Amino acid sequence: MDRVDILIKNGLIVTIDKDMQIIEDGAVAIKNGNIVDVGLTKEIDLKYNSDKTINASSKIVMPGLINAHTHSGMTYFRGLADDLPLDRWLNKYIWPTEAKFLSEEFIYNAVLHSAAEMVKNGIVLFNDMYFFGKQCGEAASRVGIRAIIGEVVLDSPVANCTNPEQIIDYSVNQHKEFEKDELIEYSIAPHSIYACCKETLQLSAETARNNNMLLHIHVSETKKEIEDCIKNNSKPPIEYLHDIGFLSEDVLSAHGIWVNENEMKLLREKNVSIAITTESDLKLASGFAPMKEYLENGVNVCLGTDGVASNNNLDILEEMDFTSKLQKAYNQDPTFLPAIDIVRMCTINSAKAFKKDSEIGSIEIGKKADIILINKSQLDTIPMYNVYSHLVYTISSYYVKDVIINGKIVMENRKLVNVDEAEIIDRANYYKKKIINGL
Ligand SMILES: [Zn+2]
């Protein structure tokens, strides 16, 4: 008998391996952060024992979900201003509030909140872009969640940085500082083609490639962005990014709503991944992502929630449901984007986008143990004929019961292990009062 750290037994294992194998009455053995065995409970039972056994008899056991684009430091701006056009929303509310309140302490607390919220929603990794990356990393690490943190690069001075070179240096230093951390890494995150000049974008790409870091950027979000880019550069954003040498497989582009056919081909050719943010795009009326064209062109698609200021939650299961239904209606085709494809987008496709598909994104021997358990035996979740259908159309995040990240239990029966939820709620109310008084 081999002794392991955690033994999950009697569950419905949704592996997301290359054969999309599902194991009924299955078990997973976890040791030193890794999945050391997966199989039928009756077989695993003969080989392993553990002090920590989780009975998953009424649960779906699946790889943790990945949020491919968010701004985790914006928690306290949730619902601050809604139902406004993008420019007024930014100019009148978001940017002035940011200018007044952002600080190391504010971001640490805001990220502690959003990271805790994401764990409760079954998310094990988030790809972030915001300010005060150091505090963001420390907060995510305290919660016990994986994060790829991008300090937003802008040409204009903001928050803790005065110029783009300084922000890029800061990102590289952070990346080095967290090199041995198994959960946290840093990307280089130029905000967009309209907030960064050609030289800033090129310096970002060059520095990322020299330091083996990922790139994270907003691309083709609004019609105005396309029109301005054509006016200034005689070509749309993705063609522009291609021509200046920015595009490569290390790039994660968020939004990607207004993309022409040639740009689709460039994304495929350069293996750029796209994070679609349906709920935020709908709320800001930015448009409908051309999902069908992405998939026809073989572009790797992931899903992201965007920040809570525009979503207004960090619920990736809800995002999966919305995206599937919206795309069916938009394409007038109920057979388009079946549930199984959506589930892949938020697990293995996202892992691939972040060059982590050999480590996470599926339940397979040798991979890191990033696993969530979801209750499937509630009144409103039975009967169940197809688990992918359930994950996309039936189950809400409240049914996520346990979350294991890097082999450690981070949430057990909906109780967060590393942070005090009541304290986080108190702090949110404290900041709300401060923001109201300061506006
Ligand atoms: Zn965004």
370-420 confidence digits (pLDDT tens): 999 999 999 999 999 999 999 999 999 999 999 999 999 999 999 999 999
Q: What percent of the chain has pLDDT over 90?
A: 92
Together in a domain, 42 and 181: no
Residue 419 Cα to ligand 1 midpoint, Å, equals: 26
Q: Which two tokens stand for residue 370?
A: 């990033």
Residue 306 Cα to ligand 1 midpoint, Å, equals: 5
Residue 260 Cα to ligand 1 midpoint, Å, equals: 21
Look at residue 198 and tell me if it is in a domain: yes
* pLDDT reported for residue 90: 82
* pLDDT reported for residue 405: 98
* pLDDT reported for residue 304: 98
Look at residue 55 and tell me if it is in a domain: yes
Together in a domain, 90 and 23: no
Residue 120 Cα to ligand 1 midpoint, Å, equals: 21
Together in a domain, 227 and 182: yes
Together in a domain, 177 and 39: no
Torsion of Cα atoms, 230 then 236 then 240 then 243, to 10° = -110
Together in a domain, 244 and 229: yes
Residue 382 Cα to ligand 1 midpoint, Å, equals: 36
Res. 122 pLDDT band, cuts 50 70 90: very high
Together in a domain, 378 and 393: yes
Residues 230 and 193: beta-carbon distance below 8 Å: no
Residue 100 Cα to ligand 1 midpoint, Å, equals: 20
Q: What are the strands of the beta sheet with 184-190, ordered from one edge?
A: 65-70, 123-130, 146-153, 184-190, 215-219, 251-255, 273-276, 301-303
Look at residue 208 and tell me if it is in a domain: yes
Together in a domain, 374 and 316: no
Is the four-CA dihedral 372, 392, 148, 150 of positive or negative sign?
negative
Domain count, the chain: 2
Together in a domain, 324 and 393: no
Would the pTM of this model clear 0.85, i.e. be above it?
Answer: yes
Angle at 307 between CA 304 and CA 309, to 5 degrees: 145
Residue 254 Cα to ligand 1 midpoint, Å, equals: 7
Look at residue 424 and tell me if it is in a domain: no
Residue 337 Cα to ligand 1 midpoint, Å, equals: 23
Examine the pLDDT at 158 and tell me if it is beyond 80. Answer: no
Residue 281 Cα to ligand 1 midpoint, Å, equals: 10
* pLDDT reported for residue 337: 97
Residue 58 Cα to ligand 1 midpoint, Å, equals: 36
Residue 275 Cα to ligand 1 midpoint, Å, equals: 10
Together in a domain, 383 and 348: no
The half-sphere exposure of 158 on its side-chain side, counting CA atoms within 13 A, is 20
Res. 438 pLDDT band, cuts 50 70 90: confident
Look at residue 438 and tell me if it is in a domain: no
* Domain hosting residue 308, numbered range: 65-353
Together in a domain, 295 and 158: yes
* pLDDT reported for residue 184: 98
Residue 48 Cα to ligand 1 midpoint, Å, equals: 44
